[in-house]
Amino acid sequence: MKNPYRFNLLLLLCALAVFIGGCSFFAVTFAPKKKAVQKDFGLKTHAVNYFWQHFHSGNYDSIPEMLNLLTAAYLKNPNDPEIARYIGFTHLWALAESERIPESEVKATITDHAVMARKYFEEAHELEPKNGIATGFLASCLMAEGTIHNSQKEIRKGYFMLNKAIRQWPEFNYFTAGYNLSGMNYDSKIFNKAVEYQWKNIEICIGEKLDRTNPDIFKLKKMFDTTGRKSPCWNGYKAPHNFEGFMMNMGDMLVKKGDVKTALVIYNNTKFSTTYNSWPFKHLLEERIADAEQNIPSFRGETEGTAMMFQSAITCVSCHQQ
């Protein structure tokens, strides 16, 4: 006959294991969520001012001090989604424009910026899940990190989150989504969707359909509305050359697609901006207009040559540098 005490002991151990496992599940599941708390204090103000001073100047070398100041402010109030977004974006800038670093000095650990950017945008998104900026940039980070680590799961998660971000704030995230997908193969469905996102971005800003082969420059005047949800449609304090950067990128995407005729219309419409003459990168646009045909293979990655805006040393500052 089997020992009943041994059998009861086994039942007790099993029950205990379930109980312990259940405790950990409930403890984690019902842990209190972080709540957004934004406070104005000297360190935050100094860090944010330092960020804009150097970002608007295109001072890539200032990134370590930017991160130091912003992280110090975050540690003082880790419930502030705004500071978390600033840190996440600074890490993205470091990664996105790493072309500025001499090739002999680029370290493999540059990719760690993708991990850190994703972490801080996750914090911002948790604190403000309906904030379209946090959602859009978190999606971008997931795709970047997934690409680095060859994780299709992360890439797909980021892609579907981009579509969620578009629903939250289409005026901002049609561009975010299209820009991030502009590195896809020129003949892929996703790249064609990315081009379509750029058209939709303009149309939602002007409030009407646009002729896709000869977009009417005068209709673009409706993009002057810089208030509320339409604030990303035109230039503003944070992105003083948003319109110019948007148009140059869209032209690049159309050249990559092989539609040089429409690309030239888009490129030339950039000159419609009242701030075009003060744009630090207008010479690059004028070179693109002259070399549009020969840029097709280099934009597709088939030959050496000019890089698309998204893959260049001005990935971010093309819109943000004064």
Is residue 75 in a domain? yes
Average pLDDT of the residues in 5-9: 57
Per-residue model confidence (pLDDT) at position 1: 47
**How long is the chain?**
322
Nearest Cα to Cα of residue 81 among 49, 116, 125, 45? 125
Same domain, yes or no, for 154 and 232?
no
Same domain, yes or no, for 126 and 253?
no
**3-class SS string, 137-169:** HHHHHHHHHHHHCCCHHHHHHHHHHHHHHHHHC
Average pLDDT of the residues in 9-38: 66
Tally Cβ neighbours within 10 Å of residue 148: 14
Is residue 62 in a domain? yes
pLDDT in tens, 261-275: 999 999 999 998 999
The structure tokens listed for 118 are 């994703």
> How far is it, in rounded angstroms, from Cα 152 to Cα 157?
8
Same domain, yes or no, for 195 and 312?
yes
Say if residue 80's pLDDT is above 50: yes
> How far is it, in rounded angstroms, from Cα 143 to Cα 204?
25
Same domain, yes or no, for 192 and 321?
yes
Same domain, yes or no, for 55 and 146?
yes
Answer whether 139's CB lies under 8 Å from 162's CB.
Answer: yes
Average pLDDT of the residues in 2-21: 57
Say if residue 26's pLDDT is above 60: no
Say if residue 5's pLDDT is above 80: no
User: What's the structural domain count of the chain?
Assistant: 2
Is residue 134 in a domain? yes
Say if residue 245's pLDDT is above 90: yes
What end-to-end distance do the CA atoms of the chain give, in Å?
87
Among residues 109, 137, 168, the one where a domain terminates is 168
Is residue 251 in a domain? yes
pLDDT in tens, 105-143: 999 999 999 999 999 999 999 999 999 999 999 999 999
pLDDT band at 38 (very low <50, low <70, confident <90, very high): confident
Same domain, yes or no, for 119 and 194?
no
> How far is it, in rounded angstroms, from Cα 255 to Cα 212?
14
